[in-house]
Amino acid sequence: MPEPTAQRATNAIEIKGLNKWFGPFQALKDVDLTVAHGERIVVCGPSGSGKSTLIRCVNSLEAHDSGTITVDGTRMGNAASIEAIRAEVGMVFQQFNLFPHLTILENLTLGPMKARGLSRAEAEARAMKYLERVRIPEQADKKSGALSGGQQQRVAIARSLCMEPRIMLFDEPTSALDPEMIAEVLDVIVDLATSGMTMIVVTHEMGFARRAADRMVFMDHGAIVETGTPQEFFEAPKTERCRTFLNQILRH
């Protein structure tokens, strides 16, 4: 559980009336979502339901068309506010997006050195700390191409952690992985979750959701259809659409 401090905003993330269009296609419809400090949210739903778009709006990788996003008290608007929000929010992508021309260590030190002004020694110490945390310090001098998918995703998580964010967003972190590598990545995310990090995870891994989520969010056609604790959500889904979805993905 998070330690509430006086100067911190009440909620980590507040999203109100969020709308987003891609041309004529409405990707998000009046989305409201409040995430408390330390809360772990798992977002699921059929593909094209707006899950990824929603979390990409939170750190402004996508610009929204109407509604408000407030992250840790900072209301998203001008470039300065976006910069401030990105400093608080780490993100892990489906395709890892490591920088292939740099070594693992350089991937991790680039942000701290260039964006935060840390010295090389400080940045490298921090990088090694987080590489240990994701359990691959021995790969520091390799390039990302030499690593397995699971290792690459763990490096990507460590790269985000090096910026010491308060909130982490995971955009289908295991969808591009071979099945035998999913566990090693989920273990790292669960470990992070138990340390009190605020996180929103878009995933189809329902076992992980049961283990780690405080709250489930089910989206369909750009809207939040249902939210609830994992127990409510899996045992007694309230809507027909949610039941159908769960039947489809839990059947096998």
Partner 1 sequence: MSTRLFLTLACLTLLAGCGNSGVWGWYVIDPTTPTGMSNIRFLLNGFGATIVLSLTAAALSMTLGLMVALPGMSTNRWIRMPSRIYIEFIRAIPLLPMLFWVFYGLPVVLQSMGITLRIDAFWGAVITLAISDSAFTAEIYRSGIQSIARGQTEAAKTIGLTYSQTMRYVILPQAIRRILPPLANQFIYIVKMSAFASVIGMQELTRRANELVVTEYRPLEIYTLLILEYLVLVLIISFFVRWLERKMGADESR
| Interface residue list for partner 1 (CB under 8 A) | 59, 61, 83, 86-87, 89-91, 93, 95, 97-101, 110-111, 114-116, 143, 156, 159-160, 162-163
Minimum CB distance to partner 1, residue 252 (Å) = 30
Unique residue bearing structure tokens 């259809």: 225
Minimum CB distance to partner 1, residue 58 (Å) = 11
In the complex with partner 1, the residue whose CB is nearer, 116 or 210, is 116
In the complex with partner 1, the residue whose CB is nearer, 125 or 250, is 125
In the complex with partner 1, the residue whose CB is nearer, 129 or 211, is 129
Minimum CB distance to partner 1, residue 127 (Å) = 12
In the complex with partner 1, the residue whose CB is nearer, 113 or 216, is 113
Residues with Cβ < 8 Å from 217, sequence gap 6 or more?
33, 41, 42, 43, 44, 224, 226, 227
Are 156 and 2 in contact by the 8 Å Cβ rule? The answer is no
In the complex with partner 1, the residue whose CB is nearer, 86 or 215, is 86
Minimum CB distance to partner 1, residue 30 (Å) = 26
Are 200 and 213 in contact by the 8 Å Cβ rule? The answer is no
Minimum CB distance to partner 1, residue 160 (Å) = 7
Distance CA 241, CA 120 (A): 52
Q: Given phi > 0 = left and psi -120 to 50 = alpha, else beta, which region is 117?
A: left
Strand partners, 26: 21
Distance CA 75, CA 16 (A): 11
